[in-house]
Amino acid sequence: MHKDVEKILLNQEEIANICKNLGAKITEDYKGKDLLVVGILKGSIVFFADVIRNIDLDINLDFMVVSSYGAGSTTSGMVQILKDISVDIEGKNLLIVEDIVDTGVTLYNVKNVLLERGAASVKICTFLDKPSRRTADITADYIGAEVPDEFVVGYGLDYAEKYRNLPYLGVLKRQVYEK
């Protein structure tokens, strides 16, 4: 365990099972449909890769970079699209893959932008859900695990761009981010 991690919430085996189960459900729900899977970078990259390998369908992929955090530990509430998807989405079924739904502000805005552009449907698959902090009216369609109101890192999730490469999900020690 990394020295800055207080405890492990999900180990590698538990994460692998989450991805397998989500992939099976997504496969079932989108059978016979065209699906564009949109990863929200950077946090979702590890989860995104594992989930799509568990989707037994022909899919298309794209990515967005969206930020509302900067280098802090809490959302600023201001959502910026730093990198947009590169394909026309009119009439397409989209699945947004995100690392965590916290306040929901980012995903609420992204989903509405994509619907305004003419997507046939926009659903959300998130590795983690933190409903205790929700301020926007949004619920993910596919949820890997619910987490308590603690600062989590690893498996793609970061604090100030660190800890993304940890192979597990852990709780960051308070003294690291409360400086």
Active-site residue list: 102
Based on its alpha-carbon atoms, the radius of gyration of the chain, rounded to whole angstroms, reads 16
- Please, what is the Cα angle at 110 between 115 and 9, to 5 degrees? 130
Report the DSSP pairing between strands 80-83 and 60-67: antiparallel
SS3 state of residue 77: coil
Query: ω before 3 within 30° of 0 (cis)?
Result: no
Dihedral sign from CA coordinates of 62, 83, 131, 162: positive
Q: What is the DSSP letter of 28?
A: H
